[in-house]
Structure formats: structure tokens, C-alpha cells
Structure 1
Amino acid sequence: MTSRNVTGLLALPDEDADERSDSTWSDRAYRIAFGAIGWPWLLYSLWGGTKASKRELLARVGLGEDALPHLGSWKADTGFLHRIVDAVEEIRPRNVVELGAGATTLVCARALQHNGGGRLFSYDQHRGFVAATAEWVEKEGGTAALRHAPLTAQVRGWPGRWYALRDLPDTIDLLIIDGPPWAIHPFVRGGAECLFDRLSPGGIVLLDDAARPGERIVARRWRKAWPEIRFERLAGSTKGTLIGRKLRSGQVIPMPHRARAERRPSHWRRAAAMAALLVSGWLAHDVVGDVAPPAHAASFFDEAAASYDASQARQRMVSQLESTSLDRAEIARATGLRLPDLPRDWELKDVQVFPSDLGISVALMIVTESGDEVSLFATRAETPAEKLPLLERRERRSMAYWEEGSMAYALTGELASERVLALASELAGQPARS
């Protein structure tokens, strides 16, 4: 079977005896917990993209109408496949490494043929699928070196089983990550960082399924551990795409930040806590209701709350002079941070650029047209939200937060939750949530 065939929601089962190993209790707990909160993403992934998008994709790489009859489910959607072609056209890679074979293999192979050549090394854990995909790619006129890579290895610092990779190129210009499946562990794709040292200057990393909760946490860890690679989550696909670009010599990211060393609970303790939450119903409630956010967003909320308190304190202090001059272009050039437009009838009271545990950040103190006093906190971070603002409560404060690309924003005020959410929706350009 290849990606030409109709498939179910879940990925193919392991077919090699050497791939089977008893997963830990911690791994099973994580799968249960993230399955409970991730089922909307799994259902949404069944949609593989529009027919028009697929026709455009096939035309870009010179394939016939029936070359990719079935997309979606555990296979890449048209949005991710277009991103692959975009990357090949942009950097014309000499060496491409792909983790997880299928439709991506064929599309990438054809894109390379149309853009100066290049070698494609594709790895997958299913021996039969590798053989069938190799035959399919060859039949469609593509060239790829497909390798069977059983899930028998481990990557330090990441849970789950990893590919036993062989015959890797010394340098990688484009790294495509579409495996292993989340059923191994929600964070398993984080192990791809074992290849980041091979990434050439200007090289690109593409991670599929980047909107899922597990991949969001992976992205957050990568951003902290690899400041020389600029990561950004992109829209335009049903499952989300994370793109990383390795800086060329002379390029800098303003004030790169590495996480401070902190003592973390062991894997089994975190898994036990998550399983307990699941049993008590909190994780299921989080899908449909308003409860505490996942732990990986806590630092963002803490920083936003602290910036609000600091802005309030500055307003009360005679010795601290407020700055009411806001130059978005200058801030973007100096910090790499983008700020949303403010409504014309909102009054800016203070602007501050400051370091935080998340890296360089910006805080604005604002009075709305109705006299509501709020602060806007902006930085690069991963949160549970996307473009539609979500709500968080901290003591007497209400906080509405959202994301735009790699940017995260939080609007905080001592107002009714509905009011803060409406103001945030106005800033985000989204309708208010009822």
C-alpha cells in the first residue's frame, strides 16, 4: 500500500518484529492524555485540502491528475506539500532528508527534478511501505533513495522510539519531518533535533502536524535549545506547518534566549499527574470549556501578568517617566517583534521593551475609548491559542491571549472577562467569542 490508497484515521501499524517494544507506563499515559485533548486535530486532519489546491500542486511538479488521489488522515495535506515545493524552489537543496515516506516523497522528488536536481533520502519504519513507495515514485518518474528505518533507536532527551537511520548525508539542506506517528509518543518528533547539527547555513526544517498539542511543545523546546534556527508556525494547511531556517553567517536573532536551568519533575511523575487529570475529567473539560491552560503556556501567562503589574506600578511612580512614542517599524527592526495596530481612539500611555524569561518582550499600557485601562504584552511564545483569542484568569485580572505567526499577545486588565475578550478580538481582527 502507498499514499495512493484510501486509509483510515490512524497511521499504519508496525509490521516488523524488531520495532515492537514494550512502551513505558509514562508513554502510555501521555498517549491517553494527549489523545483526549488532541482528537479535534485528528478528525480535522481527515481533510486533505481542496481539489483546486491539489490541482495546482500537481501542475507545479508535473504530475497527472490521478498521481495523488487520496490525501489527509495520517498523510500530508496539500498545504504541507505546497510548503515542500516552496522550500525546494527557494533554496534548491542538494541534500534533502525526509522522515516518514509517502506523498511527500513523490512531491519532493518531482520538485527536485524541476529545480536543478538534488538528492532525496527518505526514511520510514514500515518495510513494505518503503518498497511500495519506491516503486510508486519510480513509476511517476521520480528519484529517491528510500530506506527502511525501524523504530529501534533513542534520542537523548526525547521520549519514544526513534528511527535507526543509516547512510545519512553529511550536510542537510532541507529536513522534512512527517514521522514517527504521535501514537509512539506525543513528543516523539522532537527527536529530529539529532539531525539539526547537519543542517547547512540557510537550510530549512519543515515539521508537519505543527498545530497539534504535542508538536507545539516540541516547537517550544526547539526554539529554546536552537537559537541559531528561527522557527515559525505557518498557516495554510489543515494540520499546521512549523518552518525553521538556520541562520547564515552574520545573521543574528535579537537577544536569543536559552531557558534557565530548572528542576523538572521526572517523566513518570508528570505522566501520573496528567493521567490523574484525565481520570478526574479535567482534560476532557479543557477541550470544551474554560479551565487552566497546559503547563507549557504558564510562563507566558506569568510574564504577561508581571508586565501588567509593572506597568501599573510605573503609572503610580513620579520618578518613572512614561514613553508614549510607539514606532512599530523600529521595534520590529531592533527586536524582531511585531505589534498589532491599535484602534485610533485608544490612548497609548506607556511603551517598554524589556527582557523576560521568554526572551525580549514589549509591553504597552493603553486606555481604550471607554476608559478601560489594559496592558498589551507581546513576545515569541507557544500558547494553546491561535488567531482566535482565548481567556485566562489570574486573581482579579482577566487575560485574553492569541497568536499571529511566531508572535504571542496577551491583553490584561481588571475588567470583566467578556470585555477583555472583546477588546482582544478587536486587536486580533477576530470576532469576539460568545
Structure 2
Amino acid sequence: MTSRELTGLLSLDDSVPGRPLGQQASDFAWRMAFGAIGWPWLLRSLWGGRKADKRALMDRLGLAHDALPHLGSWKADTGFLRHIVTQIERLRPRIVVELGAGASTLVTAKALSLNGGGRLLSFDQHEGFVDATRHWLAENGLTVDIRHAPLEAEVEGWPGRWYDIDALPDQIDMIIIDGPPWSVHPLVRGAADSLFSRLAPGGVILLDDAARPGERLVARRWRKQWTDIDFALETDGTKGTLVGRRNINGLVPLAANDNGRTWRHAARAAGIAALIATGWIARGAMGEFPAAAQANSFVDEAAASHRNGLLRQAMRSQVESPKLDRAEIARSTGIQLPVMPSGWAVRDVQLYPTSDGPAVAVSLTAPGGEPVSLFAGKAETPAEAKPLLATRSGESIAYWEVGDVAFAVTGAVAPARALELAAQIAS
């Protein structure tokens, strides 16, 4: 939980009367061990981010600059709050469940009101704080279903005590995890996966304090146990945010399981060779070999547009449009497509609707005869022009960005070949 007021160095008392002494001793030992290891991250948690970033966030939401008078001292930082707003703007969720109320509750509720409504269910273990937060939201013209949920439950496979949560909707579009505090147990937030079976396809999970050692162990277990959810650690805030997204088509992302780890090792050498051969490293766009793409919805849309393009080409009744007018596309959509390299053939050009506005899908035949697609649209997350890899339905997808436009080359080719073809277009 987090407050709009200044908070002390120590968290509020979360002890439960009658808890067995053995469990109390075990929890204390874990806290001492992780406190000794993780004190740099805990100290960093006391800073809430730059005041300029907080003002920019308030302007984005149309809130007064003093709507969040104090951040830091265990509160959600501006980086985590910004992730909440960005995901709500992209996803427009109908049902959001929040674990640990406070600053994130205000930001989430306001973002929902600006993006199609949506219902927020928020839970916190301190009854007095629940009442205070409810009044705080009302002062800002917001109404939220915020409930008292004492730490009296246990979740099999996870230590510590968990929220005693009452009835939840069968399907949740977004889960925000900002509690319980680490002082209950360093791994206590792992029990949030008791809600993951309710996460809708394409739904999002946001875990605060994800750079801490305890949360890193939690994320590692989640990746193994929930192979249909793609998790990525974002480090743009002071404490790190773990972003998880359930695969839309139910397929297991290649980078999210043990097979994906094997694939990454096998692809590393071939991929780096392809990048060197095509000049991507030489042009300064590449640091180390990329992991799976983090722009999940864009990658899913790129894969879907590729399959739709192949389907159109197989149907006699569908008229293809092989004329690629880059100037007209730029004027109409704001998307500046690259010039197609010599030896590439354009088969079809179509506008493709997305949640972030129109995108352009170009069906191509590569010089080697491979049918591939170039998909271009609004960038979802900054990738600094670095090529990233993903797979969908056995197809390789090479993703990169130029300014505020994202690009993806998709085809039934080897990962190294996808990078090579993407590099040809990007250059």
C-alpha cells in the first residue's frame, strides 16, 4: 500500500496474531537474508523519481500537480505509474484488479476514466488506509471499488501470507501488483499467480519493484510455470517493472520456456553472423544479441497481417494492390516506409487497423523467393532501433524502430534469415 502522505522508513505492522512460531521464524530468516543482499534495491525504493516526470504524468492525466504530493518512501515510482497509464491507453481494459492500493489507485482510476471507462477492483490489507484512499479518490472525482483484504490467506507453493480476497470476475484484463510489502516475505508477491488463470488473452500483468532480488526469483518461477505469458523486465523507473502479457492466440512464446532458451543459444551465433554480414552492428544499432521482442501486441498484429496477406493472395475474389506509394502513405498515416531494396517484389499493400491507429502491411517476395511481410505502425515501446526477435505460429519476426514508427518483417524463415531480410530493408 502507498499513501498520498509522507510515510515512514518502516512499513506498517502486517503481523497476524496466532501465526505459528516456526513460520514466523522462517519469514524472519528470509527477511534478514534478503535484506543483507537487497539493501541497495531497498534504498533505491525510497526515491519516487524526478519531480519533472511526476508533473508530466499529472499533465498526461489532467490531474493537478499536487494530486500526488509525495512519491518515494516505498510508494510506486513515476516509472511504474507511467507503465500503468501506457498499458491502459493501449489495452483499454474492462476489468483491472490491483493488489496494494494508494498512488497507483488514483492513477489507474483516472487513466481508466480517460480511456473508455473500465472497472477497477483494488485490495489492501489496512482497513483504515482503504477508507482514507476512498476519500482521497472522491476528492479527485473518482469512484473505485476498493476493499479491505487482510493478509490471512495462504497460496500453495508460495511463502508468507496473502490477501483474503473475496469474489473476483472470471476474466481480468489487467493485474497490478504493488503489494504485499517485502517485509511480509521477500517472495510473497509470487502468490499473485493465483489470479493468472483469470487473465484474458492479451491481458497484462504489472509487477512493481521487479528489480529486487526477491521479485527476480518470483519472475523466474512465473516464466517457468506460465509459459503462455511473455514476461519482460523494464528498467526505465527507479525500481523496475515486470510486464507480462498473455499470448493472444494461446501459443507459447519461444523465449518464455526452456525450449526458447535452447533456441536463443542456438540462434545467437547464427544471428550475430547475420547481423555482421548485413551491417546492422556496423551501423551502431546493435549492442548484444537481442532477446524476444517486447512489443507484444505489435508483434502479434504483424504476424496476423502476414497470415491475412497470404490468405488474400490465395483467394481469387480478393484484388491485390501491388502499388507502393510511399508519399501518399506518409501523408495519410504519418508512417514513413523505407525504400524497398533492389531485387524485392511488392505483391500487395493494405492498410491494417490497430488499437494505436492505422498500420501498413506490405506483402513482399524477397530476393531468395521467400514470401514475407513488412508491417509498419505506431511504436509501442522504445527499442532504440535495436532488432528484436519473436516467433508466432512457426514464423520468425524481426522487429525494430525508427523514431516513433515500428517495423516488423515476418515470414516462415529461419531467425537469422529474418534478421538478414530486416537489415536489408532497414538499411
1:201-280 matches, within 5 Å, as: 201-249=201-249, 251-254=251-254, 257=257
Matched, 1:41 2:41: yes
User: How many angstroms does 1:26 deviate by?
Assistant: 2.2
| Correspondence for 1:336 | none
Give the AA of the match of 2:236.
G
User: How many angstroms does 1:343 deviate by?
Assistant: 10
User: How many angstroms does 1:254 deviate by?
Assistant: 2.0
| Correspondence for 1:389 | none
Pairwise CA RMSD: 3.4
Q: Give the number of equivalent residue pairs.
A: 284
Return 224-233 or 34-43, whichever deviates more: 34-43
From the superposition, tell whether residues 19 and 12 of structure 1 become closer, same or farther in structure 2 (CA, over 3 Å): farther
Matched, 1:163 2:151: no
User: How many angstroms does 1:4 deviate by?
Assistant: 1.6
From the superposition, tell whether residues 116 and 327 of structure 1 become closer, same or farther in structure 2 (CA, over 3 Å): same
Q: Cα deviations across residues 291-325 of structure 1 (Å, max 9, x unaligned)?
A: xxxxxxxxx9xx9xxx89xx9xxxxxxxxxx9798
Query: Could you state the TM-score of these two structures normalised by the residue count of structure 2?
Result: 0.61
| Correspondence for 2:6 | 6
Q: Distance in 2 between matches of 1:405 and 1:188?
A: 32
Q: Distance in 2 between matches of 1:214 and 1:74?
A: 15
Counting aligned pairs with the same residue, the percent is 57
From the superposition, tell whether residues 329 and 168 of structure 1 become closer, same or farther in structure 2 (CA, over 3 Å): farther
Q: Is the CA contact 1:175–1:204 (under 8 Å) kept in the aligned structure 2?
A: yes
Give the AA of the match of 1:326.
A
SS of the equivalent of 2:142 reads coil
From the superposition, tell whether residues 72 and 2 of structure 1 become closer, same or farther in structure 2 (CA, over 3 Å): closer
Q: Cα deviations across residues 72-103 of structure 1 (Å, max 9, x unaligned)?
A: 12110111000000010010000000000000
| Correspondence for 1:348 | none
Q: Is the CA contact 2:2–2:76 (under 8 Å) kept in the aligned structure 1?
A: no
1:30-429 matches, within 5 Å, as: 30-249=30-249, 251-254=251-254, 257=257, 326-328=273-275, 341=281
Q: Is the CA contact 1:120–1:143 (under 8 Å) kept in the aligned structure 2?
A: no
Q: Is the CA contact 1:31–1:186 (under 8 Å) kept in the aligned structure 2?
A: yes
From the superposition, tell whether residues 78 and 226 of structure 1 become closer, same or farther in structure 2 (CA, over 3 Å): same
From the superposition, tell whether residues 342 and 114 of structure 1 become closer, same or farther in structure 2 (CA, over 3 Å): same
Q: Distance in 2 between matches of 1:131 and 1:87?
A: 27
Q: Distance in 1 between matches of 2:237 and 2:272?
A: 38
Q: Is the CA contact 1:233–1:406 (under 8 Å) kept in the aligned structure 2?
A: no
Q: Distance in 1 between matches of 2:9 and 2:78?
A: 17
Q: Distance in 1 between matches of 2:66 and 2:34?
A: 35
SS of the equivalent of 1:43 reads helix
Listed as ranges, the gaps of 5+ residues in structure 1 are: 260-299, 312-321, 331-339, 345-350, 352-403, 408-434
| Correspondence for 1:386 | none
User: How many angstroms does 1:11 deviate by?
Assistant: 2.0
Q: Is the CA contact 2:97–2:176 (under 8 Å) kept in the aligned structure 1?
A: yes
Q: Is the CA contact 1:97–1:176 (under 8 Å) kept in the aligned structure 2?
A: yes
Listed as ranges, the gaps of 5+ residues in structure 2 are: 290-386, 391-427
| Correspondence for 2:397 | none
Query: Could you state the TM-score of these two structures normalised by the residue count of structure 1?
Result: 0.60
SS of the equivalent of 2:233 reads strand
Q: Cα deviations across residues 269-312 of structure 1 (Å, max 9, x unaligned)?
A: xxxxxxxxxxxxxxxxxxxxxxxxxxxxxxx9xx9xxx89xx9x
From the superposition, tell whether residues 101 and 255 of structure 1 become closer, same or farther in structure 2 (CA, over 3 Å): closer
| Correspondence for 1:334 | none
Q: Is the CA contact 1:234–1:405 (under 8 Å) kept in the aligned structure 2?
A: no
| Correspondence for 1:280 | none
Give the AA of the match of 2:247.
L
Give the AA of the match of 2:196.
F
User: How many angstroms does 1:405 deviate by?
Assistant: 11
Q: Is the CA contact 1:225–1:258 (under 8 Å) kept in the aligned structure 2?
A: no
SS of the equivalent of 1:116 reads coil
Q: Distance in 1 between matches of 2:201 and 2:68?
A: 33
Q: Distance in 1 between matches of 2:215 and 2:75?
A: 16
SS of the equivalent of 1:53 reads helix
| Correspondence for 2:308 | none
Q: Distance in 1 between matches of 2:53 and 2:65?
A: 12
Q: Is the CA contact 2:189–2:215 (under 8 Å) kept in the aligned structure 1?
A: yes
From the superposition, tell whether residues 328 and 114 of structure 1 become closer, same or farther in structure 2 (CA, over 3 Å): same
From the superposition, tell whether residues 325 and 121 of structure 1 become closer, same or farther in structure 2 (CA, over 3 Å): closer
Give the AA of the match of 1:181.
P
Q: Distance in 2 between matches of 1:197 and 1:88?
A: 20
Q: Is the CA contact 2:160–2:184 (under 8 Å) kept in the aligned structure 1?
A: yes
User: How many angstroms does 1:167 deviate by?
Assistant: 2.6
User: How many angstroms does 1:258 deviate by?
Assistant: 5.1
